[in-house]
Amino acid sequence: MKLTLKEIQQPIVGDMKAFEENFRKSMKTKVLLLDKITNYIIRSKGKQMRPMFVFLVAGAVGKIEESTHRGAALIELLHTATLVHDDVVDDANYRRGFFSINALWKNKVAVLVGDYLLSRGLLLAVDNGDFSLLKIVSTAVKEMSEGELLQMEKARKLDITEEVYYEVIRQKTASLIAACCGVGAASTGANEELITRMKVFGEKVGMAFQIKDDLFDFGKDEIGKPRGIDIKEKKMTLPLIYALRNADWSTRRKIINKIKNKTDDPKEVQAVIDFVINSGGLDYAQQKMETFYQEALSMLSDLPESEYRTSLQQLVEFTILRKK
């Protein structure tokens, strides 16, 4: 039976409640416009899976401390800052079904709000001497930026290889989940070997998570993001990379032409989707996702049995079995 996030949260329900209160306090400001916007951000928050990874890893490897709560807030502040900035970069009007900050208050305000959130996260860490946590999270933010720029660079030529694709998603998506797990372990005073192990665990979860997201673009599940969005945005995802790699020269050239020049036509987008499905691209990506998923689960087997480890395993399963 598939569990809900609320059920998975059971061992950390008190910690998550305290986190929400602390996160709300960490965003308070005397500037009325900024306070109005940060309240809107709190109301439109997502599933909060990243703080869950922080708390569950901390509980699974040691004991949840005050530094764990600060680490969870640090992750969420810096992650929210990157999302606000991403919406400006992408000219996106919606985020999780809500209007984006830039859609409601324009780009200039959105950039400044992102800067504010970033500074609050930095100060939270510096004021409490959480330099090891700050290093982990700052490294992730650096990698997320590099991954985004690498993807933009490759999107122009549509020549991305499977190896480069893995590097893009490792930086763009997996680095942040790796940081959550690293912060969770580091906040308990764990040694470097265990911190590194938990970061690798989080990275594998993140890789599987992103490949799952790629599969949604081809309508593998009835629920999820609209079909063909990645194709319209000329993003080279794993199913498409595999299909192009195994196509003959003329077919490859025809499909690349459709992606470069004809994605405004729904029929052409559907033709690309059909090509990927018929080429076995979805099955290949599914297999790769399963490999990362199983590798992540196997890394939990060395941790002592506990309700935290069980919930952590369930959270990993939730990220892979989700419908959106």
Task: Supply the DSSP string of 275-290, one letter for each residue.
Answer: HHHHTTHHHHHHHHHH
The more confidently predicted of residues 220 and 172 is 172
User: In the chain, what are the domain boundaries?
Assistant: 14-304
Q: What is the DSSP string of 14-63?
A: HHHHHHHHHHHHHT--S-HHHHHHHHHHHHT----HHHHHHHHHHHHHS-
State residue 19's pLDDT score.
Answer: 87
C-alpha pair distances (Å), 117 with each of 102, 175, 177: 15, 19, 19
pTM of the predicted protein model: 0.87
DSSP 8-state code for residue 247: S
The tokens of 293 are what?
């998923």
Q: Residue 96's pLDDT band (boundaries 50, 70, 90)? A: low
* pLDDT class of 222 with cuts at 50, 70, 90: very low
**What is the H or E stretch that residue 94 is in?**
strand 94-95
Q: Considering the chain, what percentage of its residues have pLDDT values greater than 70?
A: 87
Structure confidence by residue, pLDDT tens digits, 15-25: 988 988 888 77
CA-to-CA dists, residue 206 to 113, 199, 277, 308, angstroms = 27, 10, 24, 19
Which fold would CATH assign to domain 14-304? Farnesyl Diphosphate Synthase (1.10.600)
Q: What's the rounded Cα separation, in Å, for the pair 235 and 100?
A: 22
pLDDT tens-digit map of 110-150:
777 778 888 888 988 899 998 999 999 999 989 988 988 88
Band (pLDDT 50/70/90 cuts) for residue 179 is very high
